[in-house]
Amino acid sequence: MKPFLYLLKRNIINYIKSIRHKPTKAIPFVFIIGFIVLMCFAFFTDDAQAESLIDSKYFIGITTGILFELFLFIIYSGVTRKNFRYSMSDVNLIFTSPIKSQNVLLYGFVKEISFMFAMCLFLIFQLPNLALKFSFIPWGIIYLLLILMAFFIVLSSLSLLIYGFFSKYYKHKDLAIKIVKYFNIVVSLGLAAYIYTGGKGNYYEFAMDFFNKDWWNYIPVMGWGRALLSQCLTGFNSFSLIHGGLLIFSCIGAITLLYKFNLDFYEDALPSAEQNEVAQSYKNSGYDPKQLSKMQNTRKPFARRKATLTYSAKYAKAIFFRHMLEYKKTGFYFINILSGIYLVASIAVGLYFDLPFYAYLLFTIYIMVISTYGGKWSMDFNGHFIFLIPASSASKLFYSTLSSIIKVTVDSLLLFLPAGFLMGISPVEILLSILAYISFGTVSTYGAVLNYKLFDRVSNQMMKGIFMMITLIVYILPGIVIGALLSFKFEIFAPYSLQISFIVYNTLASLVIVQAAKGIYDSIET
């Protein structure tokens, strides 16, 4: 174990030393710590506690459903595992060194845990919402975060143990993949059918009552984590120690068994190490198109096919048709897998959820903002041709973002038309909600372009992402505040004041942002 511990120690020391030479690496940690402190301060104020109005059964029910599906996915990913977190430097140094393969696998387990902690950053941004809506025990929100991190560690160890078992007994792997795949499908469909037949019209409440049954706590690993998470609201008891001890014992037992397997997994780890190295080279190169080609050859995009598109457009208009071709490669132009998800979600909301239509609008806007990423326009900066097109900067900005705006428009139709008609909403409110959603999509798109202009020179990718997310919220937050004031306090524009306020503000904000962002095409060095 000495070489293994030495590697961990040197990695930690080297990272701390790198902060001294590049202090910007410490900024994300300062930001996260500050955010947690502010979150704790807000949670322990009386105002925050006064707004904890939602019944805890909804938190427990939703958490149970998510954990159960995650548990099924972990079992499947363990059987079919092909990806590891090793880099090529690990392959060249560690794989060839006189270190036991068990220790190398444990080293990969530690690297995977660090990756899981990075995924928990998203949860940190959701904790204030949970703290304001549910009645947690004192320090319960902090316990929630710690339990989730520990639960992810246990799931990682379980996934590796399943991988190790079927690597050792590889003759049964193909059969196991089929069994696990069909078992997951049957269980998921069976749960959906049970809720549909037993709900008798009130499916949501029936599902919440079903997922609040105490017998869920007896499912190994998943049930123990579920019990600890629910006790962050109801209070800890003697069973908390039992559930926590079982999780710890499961993690230690999985790692111990994995260590005794003495696996020869290097052949499985090498391809994923090559993929990780190419992806890292692409990021370090400043997203050089040559490195992008290497990455695409190493790891093919999902559901991507060859496609052709004939057009006669010239100059800036050609940018739009090029983006249309890219959309055609991954779907039927603007209709893709995500469109299908939106359609199913819209129908489900219209049939099974009893909520105000404006609340549905706000939720879809929230999802759009937190998942905003560069559209097809961001690919144009991988090459220099867009700077050489003989067209005005405003024209290039318009046509390069037009496909993103149309995609938002198509998504808005899928999100609001089925749900609106099924809920019996007036056509005027549906139309205004669609326009409000499109206006937020426009602000987000042009705001992302402006952020690219402002923060592209920031080398730290995490810092760049944080800055872009914060500024994007700054762009849209005034519109939400103004809309809330005009609709709920002053009641201007009658029942449609919220949507009209959104449309007016976002239109003005988009015009201002466009003027600030269009200069990005003026210089190739920008």
Q: What is the DSSP string of 124-192?
A: HHHHHHHHHHS-PPTTHHHHHHHHHHHHHHHHHHHHHHHHHHHHHTGGGHHHHHHHHHHHHHHHHHHHH
Report which of residues 520 and 501 the model is more confident about: 501
Length of the chain: 526
- Give the closest residue to 374 by CA, choosing from 450, 439, 318, 297: 450
Q: Are residues 243 and 307 in the same domain?
A: no
User: How much is the pLDDT for 272?
Assistant: 61
Is 273 within a domain? no
Report which of residues 299 and 11 the model is more confident about: 11
Mean pLDDT of 165-169: 77
Q: Are residues 311 and 260 in the same domain?
A: no
Strands (E), 412-509: none
Q: What confidence category does residue 255 fall into, taking pLDDT thresholds of 50, 70 and 90?
A: confident
Is 297 within a domain? no
Buried b (16+ CB within 10 A) or exposed e, 186-197: eeeeebeeebee
Is the torsion defined by CA of 351, 353, 356, 358 positive or negative? negative
Is 283 within a domain? no
Q: Are residues 198 and 134 in the same domain?
A: yes
Q: Are residues 260 and 311 in the same domain?
A: no
C-beta atoms surrounding 397 within 10 Å: 22
Task: Report whether 173 contacts 268 (CB < 8 A).
Answer: no
Q: Are residues 223 and 356 in the same domain?
A: no
Give yes or no for residue 38 having a pLDDT over 50: yes
Give yes or no for residue 43 having a pLDDT over 80: no
Distance from C-alpha of 159 to C-alpha of 180, rounded to nearest angstrom: 13
Q: What confidence category does residue 435 fall into, taking pLDDT thresholds of 50, 70 and 90?
A: very high
Is 8 within a domain? yes
CA 323 to chain CA centroid, Å, is 24
Q: Name the token pair of 370.
A: 């937190």
Mean pLDDT of 515-520: 77
The mean-pLDDT minimum among 244-253, 323-332, 372-381, 478-487 falls in 372-381
CA 220 to chain CA centroid, Å, is 27
Mean pLDDT of 138-143: 81
Q: Are residues 91 and 169 in the same domain?
A: yes
Q: What are phi and psi of 335, to 5 degrees?
A: -100, 115
Most confident of 20-24, 469-473, 487-491: 469-473
Is 295 within a domain? no
Q: Are residues 411 and 490 in the same domain?
A: yes
Task: Report whether 173 contacts 79 (CB < 8 A).
Answer: yes
Q: Are residues 312 and 257 in the same domain?
A: no
Is 322 within a domain? yes
Q: Which domain holds residue 220?
A: 2-264
Q: What confidence category does residue 274 fall into, taking pLDDT thresholds of 50, 70 and 90?
A: low
Distance from C-alpha of 312 to C-alpha of 309, rounded to nearest angstrom: 10
Distance from C-alpha of 386 to C-alpha of 319, rounded to nearest angstrom: 8
Distance from C-alpha of 140 to C-alpha of 234, rounded to nearest angstrom: 10
Q: What confidence category does residue 417 fall into, taking pLDDT thresholds of 50, 70 and 90?
A: very high
Q: Are residues 116 and 223 in the same domain?
A: yes
Q: Name the token pair of 234.
A: 């109801």
Give yes or no for residue 174 having a pLDDT over 70: yes
Give yes or no for residue 37 having a pLDDT over 70: no
Residue 490 DSSP code? S
Distance from C-alpha of 440 to C-alpha of 36, rounded to nearest angstrom: 28
Distance from C-alpha of 43 to C-alpha of 96, rounded to nearest angstrom: 51
Q: Is 308 exposed, middle or buried (0-12, 13-18, 19+ CB in 10 A)?
A: exposed
Last residue of a domain, one of 214, 239, 264: 264
Last residue of a domain, one of 236, 264, 292: 264
* Structural domains in the chain (count): 2
User: How much is the pLDDT for 501?
Assistant: 84
Tokens 């992402």, located at residue: 465
Buried b (16+ CB within 10 A) or exposed e, 30-63: eeeeeeeeebeeebeeeebeeebeeebebbbbeb
Q: Are residues 260 and 307 in the same domain?
A: no
Q: Are residues 166 and 249 in the same domain?
A: yes
Q: Are residues 40 and 108 in the same domain?
A: yes
Mean pLDDT over each residue of the chain, to the nearest integer: 74
Last residue of a domain, one of 264, 291, 324: 264
Task: Report whether 88 contacts 280 (CB < 8 A).
Answer: no
Is 350 within a domain? yes
Is 287 within a domain? no
Distance from C-alpha of 391 to C-alpha of 388, rounded to nearest angstrom: 9
Mean pLDDT of 252-266: 76
User: How much is the pLDDT for 488?
Assistant: 65
CA 227 to chain CA centroid, Å, is 25
Give yes or no for residue 301 having a pLDDT over 50: no
